């Protein structure tokens, strides 16, 4: 876990320095210059932060749901503890992704919030997990709290495919890859728009944020276990 | 239903990590009876609910063997009659409706006719009030109606939690009769505080 | 066979209980009248377009369902009859019986609210009647199928009333977006075939929600 901690700190520091310091150039030469992406320019640097945060959010919520299911099958309260720790982190990264996204939207699309399909989806995620925590605080018996919140997370998860298929038909998209996008090429990093060095830095950042998640999750689980043992023995 | 055997193995129950009781074991088969005793808060009601399989134990298991075969949830539910202060009835329905509606919901039971239901209500001396809403019933009358409900499908196992709560002498006599009949043809499990009631059973286990 | 009989038994018990106490219906009736009156005052005789009208229709249907559909489970929990049902029958019987009752209740609600809208708002003229009816029916079934298990969840929580819409809204959003669109189309008088895509989404939603609830209900129902 020590290596995970230092790895996360080193990588994210590196990404912050490299992502912000490497200059843009209309005709990039070598590794130390980024290309100018028309329409994004300097704002493109946010891709190293906003997108990995959003991905980490998804990872954290998937881990939370996975441990929720394991709790339901085994009734071991320790799984619930892992599930709720991961859900809390997912919520944290979700807020970070929403805020970085809103700023990006302000400077690229003109306003902080546009109800683009992905903005709507992340808003729904925030709603679902706010509801999840509200539900948990309203149930006194631990076993019941664990089971009911896990069931709710799964039921809410069942609607995800509908958001993927229904939303784009209902709302005009602004994110790259959405219906009506000029180039119609998938998300930025899949299309040919990212230079190799940007792509490498993006994946490095992705690794960094996931390491940060793993370290924080470990920390939260350990403190939660200590708290539990403290209150049981008291 | 003959040859029913219930095994309770290593049952432990915790609420919020507080142990209610630990490692309870017993086995009981047709024609036998057992009393569960212990002071208030020792978990008698919790234990009978676990034995009736409406509450899962934290550790351990409860099994119903019918002629040696492990019974499914449906078989178990159909074998059990349960009376408890925690059991509630529907206030907005009459005594007759309570028994008939709930029997309609019960799986695998033959449909109860009005005549059958009236006979059961007669047994607990509620026949004259069969069409009155339960809302107007005294607690003793509600207790009798619970007996009618629990006996309506002739259960192989009768589980009684505080069997004579709220009952007058006449009601207690009715319960004694029910208990006697049950021990002749099936299994009786009884949770109580009173030594007198515990003496109705062959065996006794005490929770601390 | 006995499964069907048991399910019908649960439904019948709830139905007779509702007929006798009118607990949900009376409150809901007043709720709907109040909500529509507020909207009428807010509009002050203006005639909004089809999209706004269909949005307002489903807003009232959503909130009135939120005050009515939790009743089936909350009342069992409050009266302490949950144990009674747990003793006599299996979780899936209870789930499908309650689902059936909630489907009926939300159908009655949405039909009544639509009728009230047609009377109260001159602009609320349904031009594609079949499309409107199918939307209303599928929408009501969808509403009940998603919120029945959530009702069972909140029945065990301490702040039941406020939690119900909070938990239900994110789950219902794909349904609400689809039915609002389809209702808008029926007000604009588009041909039935145009809405087939929306209906497919609704049917898929209902199937996913009912199947998921059926599989998960054991964990909610058993203590």
**Is the Cβ pair C181, A170 closer than 8 Å?**
yes
Query: Does residue A117 or residue C175 have the better pLDDT?
Result: C175
Positive or negative CA dihedral for B119, B121, B126, B130? negative
Per-residue confidence (pLDDT) for residue A177, from 0 to 100: 60
Distance CA B126, CA B120 (A): 9
Per-residue confidence (pLDDT) for residue A118, from 0 to 100: 84
Per-residue confidence (pLDDT) for residue A193, from 0 to 100: 58
Q: Which of A148, A158, A166 sits opposite C177 (nearest CB)?
A: A166
SS3 content of chain B, % helix, strand, coil (to 5): 35, 30, 35
Burial class (CB in 10 A: 0-12, 13-18, 19+), A117: buried
The nearest CA of chain B is from the CA of C23 a distance in Å of 11
Structure tokens at C115: 């009728």
Residues of C in contact with B104 (CB under 8 A): 5-6, 8-9, 12-13
Is pLDDT above 80 for C94? yes
Instruction: Output the furthest CA–CA distance in chain B (Å, rounded).
Output: 49
**Hey, which chains touch B, using 3+ CB pairs under 8 Å?**
A, C
> Are the CB atoms for A154 and C216 separated by under 8 Å?
yes
Q: State phi, psi for B13 to the nearest 5 degrees.
A: -130, 135
Task: Give kind and range of the element (H or E) at residue B26.
Answer: strand B18-29
Average pLDDT, integer, range C79-93: 92
Average pLDDT, integer, range A195-199: 83
The percentage of residues in chain A with a pLDDT greater than 90, rounded to a whole number, is 50
Average pLDDT, integer, range C72-97: 92
pLDDT band at C95 (very low <50, low <70, confident <90, very high): very high
Q: Which of A128, A138, A151 sits opposite C219 (nearest CB)?
A: A151
**Is the Cβ pair C150, A152 closer than 8 Å?**
yes
Residue with structure tokens 């993927």?
A164
Per-residue confidence (pLDDT) for residue A233, from 0 to 100: 63
A44 touches chain C (CB under 8 A): no
Is pLDDT above 60 for C1? no
C158 touches chain A (CB under 8 A): yes
Distance CA C198, CA C54 (A): 15
C220 touches chain B (CB under 8 A): no
The nearest CA of chain B is from the CA of C112 a distance in Å of 26
**Is the Cβ pair B16, A142 closer than 8 Å?**
yes
**DSSP 8-state symbol, B59:** E
Question: Quick check: helix, strand or coil at residue B111?
Answer: coil
Distance CA B17, CA A82 (A): 17
Q: Which of A121-125, C138-142, C168-172 has the lowest mean pLDDT?
A: A121-125
Per-residue confidence (pLDDT) for residue C49, from 0 to 100: 87
The nearest CA of chain A is from the CA of B56 a distance in Å of 10
Radius of gyration of chain B (CA): 17
Residue in chain B lying closest to A145 (CA): B16
Average pLDDT, integer, range A224-232: 86
Is pLDDT above 90 for C153? yes
Query: Does residue A173 or residue B101 have the better pLDDT?
Result: B101
**pLDDT tens column, B103-160:** 888 866 567 778 888 888 998 889 999 899 999 999 999 999 999 999 888 899 999 9
> Are the CB atoms for B145 and B117 separated by under 8 Å?
no
**Is the Cβ pair B90, C85 closer than 8 Å?**
no
Is pLDDT above 60 for A192? no
Query: Does residue B108 or residue A54 have the better pLDDT?
Result: A54
Residues of B in contact with A140 (CB under 8 A): 16
pLDDT band at B93 (very low <50, low <70, confident <90, very high): very high
Q: Which of C154, C171, C205 sits opposite A156 (nearest CB)?
A: C171
Per-residue confidence (pLDDT) for residue C44, from 0 to 100: 84
Residue with structure tokens 């009333």?
C161
**pLDDT tens column, A56-109:** 999 999 999 999 999 999 999 999 999 999 999 999 999 999 999 999 988 888
Is pLDDT above 70 for B35? yes
C92 touches chain B (CB under 8 A): no
Q: Which of A173-177, A185-189, B7-11, B127-131 has the lowest mean pLDDT?
A: A185-189
CB proximity list for C56: less than 8 A, separation 6 or greater: C39, C48, C117
CB proximity list for B113: less than 8 A, separation 6 or greater: none
State the best of B14, B46, B105, B145 to mutate against chain C, taking most chain C CBs within 10 Å: B105
pLDDT band at A181 (very low <50, low <70, confident <90, very high): very low
Distance CA C165, CA A131 (A): 10
C195: left (phi over 0), alpha (psi -120 to 50) or beta: alpha
**Is the Cβ pair A155, C213 closer than 8 Å?**
yes
Residue in chain B lying closest to C218 (CA): B54
Residues of A in contact with B57 (CB under 8 A): none
CB proximity list for A223: less than 8 A, separation 6 or greater: none
State the best of C7, C10, C13 to mutate against chain B, taking most chain B CBs within 10 Å: C13
As a whole number of Å, the end-to-end CA separation of chain C is 27
Distance CA A171, CA B136 (A): 57
**Is the Cβ pair B77, C90 closer than 8 Å?**
yes
Distance CA A77, CA A70 (A): 10
Q: Which of A141, A228, A232 sits opposite B15 (nearest CB)?
A: A141
Give the strand pairing for B69-70 and B59-66: antiparallel
Residues of B in contact with C78 (CB under 8 A): none
Give the strand pairing for B157-161 and B59-66: unpaired
The nearest CA of chain C is from the CA of A175 a distance in Å of 20
pLDDT band at A182 (very low <50, low <70, confident <90, very high): very low
Residue in chain A lying closest to B17 (CA): A232
State the best of A68, A147, A168 to mutate against chain C, taking most chain C CBs within 10 Å: A147
Average pLDDT, integer, range A126-146: 94
C155 touches chain A (CB under 8 A): no
Residues of C in contact with B74 (CB under 8 A): 90
Q: What is the 3-state secondary structure (H, E, C) of chain A?
A: CHHHHHHHHHHHHHHHHHHHHCCEECCCCCCCCEECCCCCHHHHHHHHCHHHHHHHHHHHHHHHHHHHHHHHHHCCHHHHHHHHHHHHHHHHHHHHHHHHHHHHHHHHHCCCCCCCHHHHHHHHHHHHHHHHHHHHHCCCCHHHHHHHHHHHHHHHHHCHHHHHHHHHHHCCCCCCCCCCCCCCCCCCCCCCCCCHHHHHHHHHHHHHHHHHHHHHHHHHHHHHHHHHHHHHHC
The nearest CA of chain B is from the CA of A222 a distance in Å of 18
């Amino acid at each position: 876990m020590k290596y995970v901690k230092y790895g996360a700190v080193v990588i994210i520091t590196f990404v912050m320095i490299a992502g912000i310091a490497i200059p843009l150039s209309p005709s990039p030469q070598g590794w130390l210059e980024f290309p100018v992406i028309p329409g994004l320019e300097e704002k493109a640097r946010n891709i190293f932060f906003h997108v990995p945060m959003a991905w980490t959010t998804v990872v954290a919520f998937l881990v939370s749901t996975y441990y929720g299911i394991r709790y339901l099958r085994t009734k071991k309260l320790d799984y619930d503890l892992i599930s709720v720790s991961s859900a809390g982190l997912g919520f944290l990264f979700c807020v970070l992704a929403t805020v970085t996204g809103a700023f990006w939207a302000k400077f690229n699309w003109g306003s902080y919030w546009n109800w683009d399909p992905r903005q709507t989806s992340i808003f729904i995620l925030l709603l679902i997990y706010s509801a999840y925590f509200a539900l948990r605080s309203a149930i006194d018996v631990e076993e019941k709290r664990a089971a009911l919140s896990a069931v709710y997370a799964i039921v809410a998860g069942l609607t995800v495919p509908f958001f993927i298929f229904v939303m784009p038909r209902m709302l005009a998209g602004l994110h790259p890859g959405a219906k009506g996008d000029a180039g119609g090429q998938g998300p930025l990093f899949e299309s040919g728009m990212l230079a190799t060095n940007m792509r490498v830095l993006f994946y490095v950042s992705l690794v960094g944020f996931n390491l940060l998640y793993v370290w924080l999750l470990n920390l939260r689980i350990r403190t939660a276990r200590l708290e539990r043992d403290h209150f049981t023995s008291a | 239903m003959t040859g029913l055997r219930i095994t309770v193995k290593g049952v432990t129950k915790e609420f919020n990590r507080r142990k209610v009781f630990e490692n309870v074991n017993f086995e009981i088969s047709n024609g036998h009876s057992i009393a569960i005793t212990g002071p208030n808060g020792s978990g008698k009601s919790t234990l009978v609910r676990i034995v009736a399989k409406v509450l899962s134990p934290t550790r351990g298991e409860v099994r119903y063997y019918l002629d040696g075969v492990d019974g499914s949830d449906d078989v178990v539910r159909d074998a059990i009659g349960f009376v408890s202060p925690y059991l509630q009835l529907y206030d907005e329905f009459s005594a007759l409706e309570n028994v008939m509606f709930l029997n309609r919901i019960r799986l695998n039971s033959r449909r109860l006719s009005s005549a059958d239901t009236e006979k059961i209500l007669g047994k607990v001396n509620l026949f004259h009030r069969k069409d009155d809403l339960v809302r107007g019933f005294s607690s003793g009358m509600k207790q009798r109606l619970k007996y009618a409900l629990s006996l309506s499908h002739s259960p192989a196992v009768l589980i009684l939690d505080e069997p004579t709560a709220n009952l007058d002498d006449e009601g207690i006599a009715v319960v004694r009769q029910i208990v006697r009949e049950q021990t002749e043809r099936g299994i009786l499990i009884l949770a109580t505080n009173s030594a007198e009631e515990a003496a109705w059973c062959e065996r006794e286990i005490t929770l601390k | 066979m006995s499964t069907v009989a048991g399910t019908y038994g649960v439904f019948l018990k709830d139905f007779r209980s509702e007929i006798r106490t009118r607990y949900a219906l009376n409150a809901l009736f007043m709720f709907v009248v109040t909500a529509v009156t507020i909207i009428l005052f807010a509009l002050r005789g203006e005639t909004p377009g089809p999209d706004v009208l269909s949005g307002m229709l489903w807003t009232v249907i959503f909130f009135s369902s939120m005050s009515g559909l939790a009743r089936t489970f909350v009342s069992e929990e409050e009266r302490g009859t949950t144990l009674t049902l747990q003793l006599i029958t299996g979780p899936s019987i209870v789930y499908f019986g309650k689902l059936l009752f909630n489907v009926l209740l939300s159908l009655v609600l949405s039909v009544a609210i639509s009728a009230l809208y047609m009377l109260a708002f001159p602009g609320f003229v349904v031009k594609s009647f079949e499309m409107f009816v199918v939307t209303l029916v599928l929408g009501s079934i969808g509403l009940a199928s998603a919120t029945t298990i959530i009702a069972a969840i909140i029945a065990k929580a301490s702040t039941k009333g406020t939690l119900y819409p909070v938990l239900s809204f994110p789950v219902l959003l794909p349904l609400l977006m689809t039915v609002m669109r389809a209702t808008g189309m029926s007000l604009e008088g588009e041909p039935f075939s145009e809405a087939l895509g929306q209906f497919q989404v609704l049917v898929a939603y209902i199937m996913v929600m009912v199947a998921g609830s059926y599989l998960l209900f054991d964990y909610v129902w058993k203590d």
